[in-house]
Amino acid sequence: MAKPIELGLVLEGEDAERFFEYDENPEISDELIAMFIEGKEIYEQNRRKLSSINSRL
């Protein structure tokens, strides 16, 4: 049987600093809002497919 894959993220240097700065002081930009709206639209367009896949798991 295959072993499960452990997902993880390792940030170093400037990437880690930016992550922690944002985590402490999140800012909502117009670009971020547009990204969430687009993500919701993509989800809505594919909801049936996702439901079908989840029911088989």
Per-residue pLDDT of the chain (57 residues; tens, 9 = 90+): 788 888 888 999 999 999 999 899 988 999 999 999 999 999 999 988 877 777 776
Report the helix count and the strand count for the chain, using DSSP H and E. Answer: 2, 0
pTM of the model: 0.47
Q: How far is Cα 8 from Cα 23, in angstroms, rounded to an integer?
A: 17
Residues 6 or more apart whose Cβ sits within 8 Å of residue 19: 11
Please name the residue ranges forming H helices in 4-29.
Answer: 13-24
Give residue-wise pLDDT tens across range 4-19: 888 888 999 999 999 9
